[in-house]
Amino acid sequence: MNNVTSLPVVIGLGELLWDCFGDERRPGGAPANVAFQANQLACQGIVVSRVGQDPLGTELLDFLKQQNLATKYVQIDTTFPTGTVTVEFSDANDPQYTIHERVAWDHLEFNQPLAELMNQAKAVCFGTLAQREKTSRESIYQCLAATNADCLVVYDINLRQEYFDRSWIERSLSLAKIVKLNLDEVEVLAGLLEISVGDTGWFIEHIQKEYTVDAVCITRGAEGCLIYADDQQYDIPGTPVEVVDAVGAGDSFTAALISRRLLGWSWDKAALFANRVGGLVASHAGAMPVLRAEFERLGEEIQTR
pLDDT in tens, the chain (305 residues): 444 458 999 999 999 999 898 888 999 999 999 999 999 999 999 999 999 999 999 999 999 999 999 999 999 999 999 999 998 876 656 678 899 999 999 999 999 999 999 999 999 999 999 999 999 999 999 999 999 999 999 999 999 999 999 999 999 999 999 999 999 999 999 999 998 777 788 889 899 999 999 999 999 988 899 999 999 999 999 888 888 878 888 999 999 999 999 999 999 999 999 999 999 999 998 788 888 999 999 999 998 88
Task: Please report whether residue 158 resides in a domain.
Answer: yes
Amino acid letter, 208: Q
Distance of alpha carbon 274 from alpha carbon 238, whole angstroms: 10
Spatial strand order of the sheet with 74-77 comes to 74-77, 44-52, 9-13, 123-127, 152-156, 178-182, 215-219, 225-229, 232-236
With CA atoms as reference, report the closest residue to 162 among 188, 201, 183.
Answer: 188
Residue 254 sits at φ, ψ, to 5 deg, of -60, -45
- The pTM of the full predicted model, rounded to 2 decimals, is 0.93
Q: Please count the other Cβ atoms lying within 10 Å of the Cβ belonging to residue 59.
A: 14
Amino acid letter, 224: G
Task: Give me the number of domains the chain comprises.
Answer: 1
Q: At 169, which CATH number?
A: 3.40.1190.20
Q: What is the pLDDT of residue 286?
A: 78
Task: Please report whether residue 4 resides in a domain.
Answer: no
Task: Please report whether residue 183 resides in a domain.
Answer: yes
Largest CA distance in the chain: 52
Range of the domain at 171: 9-303
Residue 172 sits at φ, ψ, to 5 deg, of -65, -40
Q: What one-character DSSP code corresponds to residue 50?
A: E
Task: Please report whether residue 219 resides in a domain.
Answer: yes
Task: Please report whether residue 272 resides in a domain.
Answer: yes
Q: What is the pLDDT of residue 2?
A: 46
Please give the radius of gyration of the chain, using alpha carbons only, rounded to the nearest integer: 18
Q: What one-character DSSP code corresponds to residue 104?
A: G
Residue 32 sits at φ, ψ, to 5 deg, of -65, -40
Task: Please report whether residue 154 resides in a domain.
Answer: yes
Task: Please report whether residue 290 resides in a domain.
Answer: yes
Contacts of 218 (CB under 8 A, 6+ apart): 180, 181, 182, 183, 186, 200, 204, 225, 226, 228
Task: Please report whether residue 91 resides in a domain.
Answer: yes
